[in-house]
Amino acid sequence: MASSIHDLARHLNISIGTVSRALNGRADVNADTRKRVLEAARALNYSPNQSGRSLRQGATHSIAFMLQPHPGDQQYGEPFFMPFLIGLQAKLAESGLDLIVVMGAPGDYQQERLRRVVETRRADAVVLAWTRREDDRIDYLTQAGFPFATVGRSRSGARPYPSLDLDFEKAGADAVDRLVARGHRRIAAIRPSLDLNFSYLFLDGYSKGLLRHSIEVDPELIADGFINEAGGYAVTPRVMRSKNPPTAIIFNNDVMALGGCKALAEMGIRPGQDIAVTVIVDTPLCRYFSPALTAFRPALEPMGQRLAEMLLASIPAFAGPEGPRIIREVWPLELVARDSD
């Protein structure tokens, strides 16, 4: 049976306060006493009351990642976020922090769940994903003065906050460049709705890429739908039935591409042969599709590690000697050429 701090104090015949200070490495406890306390803790199988420590110290030693799946058929999990979370957890663990994932219902942006995390202090900071162009969650956290960081950018927030994003604008333009170099002039773009900021950035890059090659942006070749397989499946036939159909499609999302390629196959159109397909962003779904889909690959695990560093740098208790810093970065995506284009 695990011992409590009271058991340790009685066993050593010293005060609970001295035991607590020794266990927490306080400088006002001499080395011999600290050694006795630590040896007794091991011998008596001491187990700290973590909730009591949190109340006394005002900290939970955990970071909450707010994850809300999108509606759809994704029974295989989150191929984008899993490697990212592995990196995030690894770096947080170096500072003695745990990562907790707060799940929402599909499509739920968790405003109420976020409020509960903040108001009951279930975590010391939060990480937001799927940032919107105008994001109420960011406004709320900024006003509350609660530490947070975001995966993605947004126009919301009265003060700067740590953010790490992928360069969707450049990837959209680079995808157009690659397809134009292969002789394509009719290039479609299929994306989630514009309330997701990365979708806006992609469309901006796509449009600039076309204009750079003196190709007019055709609204008939741009479609948006739900960010899932069914969304891609539903909107791909729409662009293919335009008056002057595309010879290439850029999908802003891997699962939309999955549904879109199924729709193409049902129309008798073969990706990689009858039409070129490019995807932003690469996941295992792209690599194992047939044909394998050309895509832009992010360094997801290093990104998770870096966002943890950026978040901790903004929190006074974890910041370096230079004090708290707000860091915002945009990372490139690496093109991985495969059979589909």
Q: In whole numbers, what is the pLDDT of the chain averaged over residues?
A: 89
pLDDT band at 338 (very low <50, low <70, confident <90, very high): very high
Q: What is the mean pLDDT of residues 308-313?
A: 96
pTM: 0.81
CB 154 within 8 A of CB 141: no
Per-residue pLDDT tens digits for 215-234: 999 999 999 998 889 999 99
**How much is the pLDDT for 250?**
98
**How much is the pLDDT for 30?**
86
pLDDT band at 55 (very low <50, low <70, confident <90, very high): very low
Q: What is the mean pLDDT of residues 113-120?
A: 90
pLDDT band at 107 (very low <50, low <70, confident <90, very high): low
Cα separation, 337 vs 334, in Å, equals: 10
Q: What is the mean pLDDT of residues 132-155?
A: 94
Per-residue pLDDT tens digits for 58-79: 578 899 999 876 655 554 446 7
In the predicted structure, residue 37 carries a pLDDT above the cut 90:
no
**How much is the pLDDT for 28?**
73
pLDDT band at 49 (very low <50, low <70, confident <90, very high): low
Pick the range with the lowest mean pLDDT from 86-95, 181-190, 292-301, 316-325: 316-325
Percent of residues, the chain, with pLDDT higher than 90: 65
Q: What is the mean pLDDT of residues 14-41?
A: 80
* Exposed e or buried b per residue across 125-164, where buried means at least 16 C-beta atoms within 10 angstroms of its C-beta: bbbbbbbbbebebbebbbeeebbbbbbbbbebbeeebbbb
